[in-house]
Structure 1
Amino acid sequence: MLEIKDLHAYYGKSHVLQGVNFEVGEGEIVSLLGRNGVGRSTTCKAIMGLVAPHGSVRFQGEDLGRLKSHQVARKGIGYVPEDRLIFSGLTTRENLQMGIQKMGAEALWTLDDAYRLFPRLQERADVKAEMLSGGEQQMLTMCRTLMGNPKLIMIDEPTEGLAPQIVTQVGDFLLEIAAKGISILLVEQRLSIAMRVSHRVYVMGHGQIVFEGTPADLEANEAVRKEWLEV
């Protein structure tokens, strides 16, 4: 579904991505792991066109490399950034409604789905988003992205700063998204959740992919974990 080949990206003269290669299949959860600063978030931004991509970015066989970010989104890629970017002055319900692209039978995700998965969002539906807790804001931004009915969703560090109970909820939520046939590219620092939900994992180091395999493969490879993941 998503094929990345020889992807390079720059911030000024800084060569951040140095030939990244990976793919995400239909209905698959793929985690992009690595320490902070290795290029995981930049990879998502390059796919979305927020950073100029150099290389091949193909989605369902179509080259996205020259598209602007709103055009990439319309092709069916959703993006949940690390900083969430909620509309703080709008209510929870209004934030969710901002994400809606399709109504009726074509809509795979509705307000009712969001409220069923995260009842707290319904309880706080008329509360301004700036008044929500960090966990509630994370739930909101993921659900808002799903309102656009993406075929693939990229989620950057969804569990950062969240309580263990909310982390478990996020993991269950990711599994439910994939069960509906939506592919997920998960950027995650917390190894435990990535190992629990992922079909495959990639490890990044110095702007390149240094490991590819299943969670079981990574669990068995102590050398890779020590070299590229452990502090």
Structure 2
Amino acid sequence: MTGAEPMLKVENLHAYYGKSHVLQGVDLEILPGEVVALLGRNGVGRSTTAKAIMGEVAPQGNVTFKGQRISGLESHRIAHLGLGYVPENRDIFPMMTVRENLVLGIKNMRRSGRWNIEDMLDMFPNLKARADTAAGVLSGGEKQMLTICRTLMGNPDLVIIDEPTEGLAPKIVQQVGDLIATIAKAGVAILLVEQKLSIALRIADRVYVMGHGNIVYSGTPKDFLGREDVRREWLEV
């Protein structure tokens, strides 16, 4: 990937909640097909970074995706450019079936993507067994998988996945990690907002660490493992 132009480039990104200055000049980039983990303690601005990139929080600064400036665009326009977003709240439609939720993720009915609905169901026997069941009765882990799969139905080139393993049992955490690795193998770039180092370091090509609304470290997982000082100051509770 050396020499490749970034698929996503974030420069001097600031964001506010009211008078609270949450993001204070964030810089990061993701290359085509690259998996990047965004690490940090709760409250340092990781989820706000994802929301600002997607236009759900008003961004100040410059965000470009596939060479096009997207900062200032509405969220639905950003999504249609090929930038997928899996929010941390597992936002499914509870009264609709699993299959109907997946259909809602399709951005272009006339153009086939990397995956179809049956591919998604085959990846997860639990979802396949409940394909025609209301999504509201799924477990937390199944809802998380459905949210990710629905985003993939839009055939994104890059997916931002925010805290996908939060509150899940260890066995389900492993399955979610395997799904993210499968997405990466299909050539989709990923920005993974995650606290569990085991998941992040297993699949990431590079890591960024956030602290106090800014990036305080970037490097490879191998380099990061040698930086006990960074982990102690910015990650350990």
Using structure 1 for the length normalisation, give the TM-score: 0.98
The letter of the residue matching 1:18 is Q
How far is 1:147 from its partner? 0.4
How far is 1:165 from its partner? 1.3
How far is 1:105 from its partner? 6.1
Give the structure 2 partner of residue 92 of structure 1: 98
Mapped pair 1:80 → 2:86: yes
Give the structure 1 partner of residue 167 of structure 2: 161
How far is 1:29 from its partner? 0.6
SS in structure 1 at match of 2:132? coil
| Aligned mates of 2:74, 2:110 — CA distance in 1 | 28
Give the structure 1 partner of residue 19 of structure 2: 13
Correspondence 1:18-167 to 2 at 5 A: 18-103=24-109, 106-167=112-173
| Aligned mates of 1:184, 1:78 — CA distance in 2 | 9
Mapped pair 1:210 → 2:216: yes
Map Cα deviations across residues 128-175 of structure 1 (whole Å, 9 max, x no partner).
111000000000000000000011000000011111111111111111
The letter of the residue matching 1:63 is R
Map Cα deviations across residues 33-80 of structure 1 (whole Å, 9 max, x no partner).
000000000001001100011001000111001210000001110100
| Aligned mates of 1:70, 1:194 — CA distance in 2 | 28
SS in structure 2 at match of 1:106? coil
| Equivalent residue pairs, number | 231
SS in structure 1 at match of 2:180? helix
| Aligned mates of 2:82, 2:111 — CA distance in 1 | 17
| Aligned mates of 1:150, 1:110 — CA distance in 2 | 13
| Aligned mates of 1:100, 1:64 — CA distance in 2 | 21
Runs of at least 5 residues in structure 2 that lack an aligned partner in the other structure: 1-6
Mapped pair 1:173 → 2:179: yes
Mapped pair 1:225 → 2:231: yes
Map Cα deviations across residues 86-119 of structure 1 (whole Å, 9 max, x no partner).
1011111111111012347632111111112111
Measured on the aligned residues, the alpha-carbon RMSD in Å equals 1.0
Give the structure 1 partner of residue 3 of structure 2: none
| Aligned mates of 2:109, 2:175 — CA distance in 1 | 26
The letter of the residue matching 1:222 is E
Mapped pair 1:186 → 2:189: no
Larger CA deviation: 10-19 vs 116-125: 116-125
Residue identity over aligned pairs, in percent, reads 62
Runs of at least 5 residues in structure 1 that lack an aligned partner in the other structure: none
The letter of the residue matching 1:179 is K
Contact 2:90 2:147 (8 Å CA) reproduced: yes
Contact 2:121 2:131 (8 Å CA) reproduced: no
The letter of the residue matching 1:192 is S
How far is 1:15 from its partner? 0.3
The letter of the residue matching 1:75 is L
How far is 1:125 from its partner? 0.7
